Amino acid sequence: MTRVIHTGDTHIGYQQYHLPERRQDFLDAFQRVADDAVDDGVDAVVHAGDLFHDRRPQLGDLLGTLSVLRTLDDADIPFLAVVGNHETTRDGQWLDLFESMGLATRLDDEPTVVGDTAFYGLDFVPRAKRDDLDYEFASHDAAHAALVSHGLFEPLVPDYGNVEWDAREVLESATVDFDALLLGDEHSSERAEIDGTWATYCGSTERASAGERDDRGYNLVEFADGEARLSRRGIPTRDFVFVSVELGSGEGIERVREQVGQYDLEDAVVVVEIEGDGETVTPARAEEFIDDRGALVGRVTDRREHATETEDVDISFADPDEAVRDRLRGMGLSEAARDIDETVRASKTANANVADTVEDRVRDLVDDPAAFEPAEDDDPDEAVAEISTSEATAEPDGSSGVDDERDDAEPASPDADASTPEAMAEATDGDGDGQPSLGDFS
């Protein structure tokens, strides 16, 4: 029997709402997973991608991650992982650096056997390069086998135009029979049984958007008697308080305060949505009340502003990234254009470095003409109209209310940004042999 924790989408380094406290929350959640692994004595921790939120994590994020990995290493618990889309770099991956230090194993088409189970990996693959995949995996002699991958798979994720893979096709094409498909990228714990094989997402370990309302956690997977058994475990995270206020005729800010005041807001992220026929409510007034009650941060959206413009718009600026993705899906953009858009919006580098990051991504894509072909079955005119509507909902001060993390990013510095795995390895070489030294991180 083999028991493993299946986790992923830890997004270490994400400074949500521009708050260092939220950045620390993402690292703390990963530490809780490792502590659980040690306490439960599992055979391995399997990470399904997006360990980091950005391909250029800051030094503090790297050091924190190394500390968590040492927790597992000290307990002789292997850390097996694949590379996700958020952390992919052009050359060596951060996971390669951790592997060179003996703290991780990057899964691939060769089996990594733990107990009586062989684990294989399939990193995130851009859409334009997936046609070249042959799903050929080396054979194994273990009793069970699992494939770990990162991406959006049918039938687990509804196809809204951004689904990347068909899980059934992968399982049918693979040269190895898998007992489980352990996935990352979708932040909810979706699962489905496909012709006798369990396919499951582990969900994220922290809420990366206001739309992630379910408790955070991970999967516990047990391989025994020729099958995989799945169970779900939660982990404590920072409180998110979600308040929906329906304003009746004549009701306004006082009603909002009354409803929000019923909750314990101390150190919480508070997300308020306002609907109904009542008076107009300025989000800033409600957020000031939330701040006074000790909340870490408050985000208030008067959804009626969007409903008066068009019936089709459903935007919450508490989750700007998802709102933008929804609008982009209908614009007919090529794979290259969507990739570059994601690169710019996900970047946590200083403004001066965003152009360099985009240039790296273009180099990756330029050899594949198919990546620049417009997407089919989309209606760009409709999407442009929807975006124009969202622009009409700007705040009185001229801002849209969207958290643009590039506007106030701190300038990059040698101490704050290691930039690449190769640079990190060079910076941590304490003995002149060109290899990173564990002692340098003590």
The catalytic site residues sit at 86
Which is nearest to 224 in space by CA: 143, 169, 293, 164?
143
The C-alpha atoms of residue 168 and residue 122 are separated, in whole angstroms, by 15
Using alpha carbons only, what angle is made at residue 419 by residues 416 and 421, rounded to the nearest 5 degrees? Answer: 120
Pairing of strands 197-201, 153-154: unpaired
Could you tell me how many helices (H) and strands (E) the chain has, helices first? 12, 17
Residue type for position 291: D
3-class secondary-structure state, position 409: coil
Using alpha carbons only, what angle is made at residue 426 by residues 440 and 63, rounded to the nearest 5 degrees? Answer: 45
Q: Is the dihedral of CA 278, 282, 288, 291 positive or negative?
A: positive
DSSP string, 13-78: T--GGG-HHHHHHHHHHHHHHHHHHHHHT-SEEEE-S-SBSSSS-BHHHHHHHHHHHHHHHHTT--
Count CB-CB contacts under 10 A for residue 382: 14
Backbone angles phi, psi at 123, to 5 degrees: -60, 165
Residue type for position 304: R
